[in-house]
Amino acid sequence: MRKPGVEHILSLKCLICGKEYHPDEVEYVCPDHGDEGILDVQYDYECIARRISQGDLLHNTDYSMWRYRPLLPLRADASVPPLLVGWTPLLRANRLAAELGLKHVWIKDDGRQPTGSLKDRASAIAVVKAQEKGAQVITTASTGNAAAALAGLCASVRQRNVIFVPQSAPPAKIAQLLVFGSQVLLVQGSYDDAFELCLLAAREYGWYNRNTAYNPYMTEGKKTVALEICEQMGWQAPDAVFVSVGDGCIIGGLHKGFRDLYHLGWIDHIPRLIGVQAAGSAYLYEAWVNQEDVLTKPPIAAHTVADSISAGLPRDRLKAMAAVRDTKGAFVRVSDDEILAAIPALARGSGVFAEPAGAAAYAGLLKALSDGQVHADERIVVLVTGNGLKDVPNAMRSVEQIGTRAHVVEKTFADVQRVVQQLNLSGASSSV
Ligand SMILES: *Cc1c(COP(=O)(O)O)cnc(C)c1O
Ligand SMILES: [Zn+2]
């Protein structure tokens, strides 16, 4: 028996062959293209426009991603998890902008999500879709944050889940999984290995599969960050958005969100999307520069301090390439040293503490600026995708790298005075 679909979804369209499927006809990917046959949700915008308007949003007090529910792939009767996901702050970073010689810079702080990264937006959708299917177990592979997000969202609704993460994931992220009560498989291999194993297990045991760029609905959750950015800017879309890129699902999600709003006529242009990659994991940057076909380009060996964007074969590479190409954006590449330096630079300039992959977006802005890719009066958003507390060892490295250290004192006031004098902190003369 065919279950009723989601009324405002027209089809799921294969990004390779363009074939369209009814949402109940396929589980995840295009049957003709196997694991590579990523599907894109096609909406009936006329139907959506009857259900939501900019005016409605003005009066909507649901400050979470669910305020955009008519734009999400949910059935009308679906209930959503209780954790508050979305509506993260968009901060105007005037001082930072001035230091860079720019006029308009905002930081979208998705480190403020319940589990500390933007991945909560996708995992929230995964939990709803899994419950729609009556799944006993949800599974995902992850470099850490998608897993932590799934673990937290599942805990909020008592949903069983199995997580595949590389053993090398930062301890804070593994701790989150265990604290939330997930079943954790620490894979003695890379994220790419964990991904393959997770696909096999999901198929074998019939678990609901949340994997990025396999489950077509994850992009739909991630796109809510673009919807929020535009609403928070009074529907004046920014000129450019900087975002770090691993698998490419977030940048694809941003693209989707901006396209949705453009189709609805709520914004008059789509921002340039600037994908920032770590030099040691720059598959998409290389493909873009060398005009390589990402369907045939072989995987690379990925190594970077920014674990969240370490991906030898970016799973959402088709959507990521389209996001950059169609918006006349760019990929930029930053070194691990530049990423680490961006952590305290961003924190000191704005008060936002990012994990390496979050700070990478800011490092990318610095790189693009020095390459003359941005203009002083452009309106620029830097998307910070993950919280600095996710990776304390690399935060410590980032300050060691610039020579910032704590001052150890004996437990005497005399020693405190010694340090205060040494630092020139006594009296009003040193007010900053
Ligand atoms: C997952 C993640 C990214 C990269 O997102 P992709 O969809 O893999 O490109 C960037 N930053 C953080 C903090 C993440 O968790
Ligand atoms: Zn296909």
Please work out whether the CB of residue 246 comes within 6 Å of at least one atom of ligand 1: yes
Task: Spell out the domains of the chain, with CATH numbers in brackets.
Answer: 90-116+218-400 (3.40.50.1100)
Model pLDDT, residue 428: 55
What residue's CA is closest to ligand 1, atom 14?
Answer: 308
In degrees rounded to 5, what are phi and psi of residue 209?
-105, 115
Taking a 5 Å cut-off on Cβ, the residues next to ion ligand 2 are 14, 16-17, 30, 32-33, 37
Q: To which residue do tokens 């694991």 refer?
A: 35
Q: Where are the beta strands (DSSP E) in 44-175?
A: 90-92, 104-109, 137-141, 160-166
Model pLDDT, residue 2: 46
Q: Confidence class of residue 191 from pLDDT cuts 50, 70 and 90?
A: confident
First to last CA, the chain: 70
Which of 112, 117, 315 to mutate for ligand 1's pocket (most ligand atoms within 8 Å of CB)? 117
Q: Confidence class of residue 5 from pLDDT cuts 50, 70 and 90?
A: confident
Please work out whether the CB of residue 117 comes within 6 Å of at least one atom of ligand 1: yes
Q: Which of 1-10, 73-82, 234-243 has the lowest mean pLDDT?
A: 1-10
Instruction: Give, in order, the Cα–Cα distances in Å from 303 to each of 147, 191, 283, 325, 337.
Output: 20, 11, 11, 26, 13
**Strand 160-166 versus strand 183-187 pairing type:** parallel
What pTM does this model have? 0.96
Q: To which residue do tokens 């990776």 refer?
A: 391
In degrees rounded to 5, what are phi and psi of residue 413?
-70, -30
CA 76, 78, 80 angle in degrees (round to 5)?
Answer: 125
What contacts 24+ positions apart, CB below 8 Å, involve 57-61?
57/231
- Assigned token pair, 86: 């979305």
What residue's CA is closest to ligand 1, atom 2?
Answer: 308
| pLDDT tens profile 375-400 | 999 999 999 999 999 999 999 999 99
Output Rg (C-alpha) for the chain, integer angstroms.
Answer: 22
Average pLDDT, the chain: 95
Q: To which residue do tokens 């924190």 refer?
A: 347
Q: Confidence class of residue 314 from pLDDT cuts 50, 70 and 90?
A: very high
Other C-beta atoms closer than 10 Å to the C-beta of 409 total 14
Q: Which of 27-31, 90-94, 327-331 has the lowest mean pLDDT?
A: 27-31
pLDDT for 353 beyond 50: yes
Instruction: Give, in order, the Cα–Cα distances in Å from 68 to each of 81, 141, 407.
Output: 15, 27, 49
Average pLDDT over residues 285-307: 96
pLDDT for 3 beyond 90: no
The answer to whether 184 and 177 are in contact (CB under 8 A) is: yes
What residue's CA is closest to ligand 1, atom 1?
Answer: 308
pLDDT for 430 beyond 90: no
Average pLDDT over residues 137-144: 94
Instruction: Name the closest ligand to CA 19.
Output: 2
| pLDDT tens profile 12-58 | 999 999 999 999 999 899 999 988 899 999 999 999 999 999 999 99
Which of 165, 245, 255, 385 to mutate for ligand 1's pocket (most ligand atoms within 8 Å of CB)? 385
Please work out whether the CB of residue 387 comes within 6 Å of at least one atom of ligand 1: no
- Residue 61 three-state SS: coil
Strand partners, 138: 161, 208
Other C-beta atoms closer than 10 Å to the C-beta of 281 total 25
Please work out whether the CB of residue 254 comes within 6 Å of at least one atom of ligand 1: no
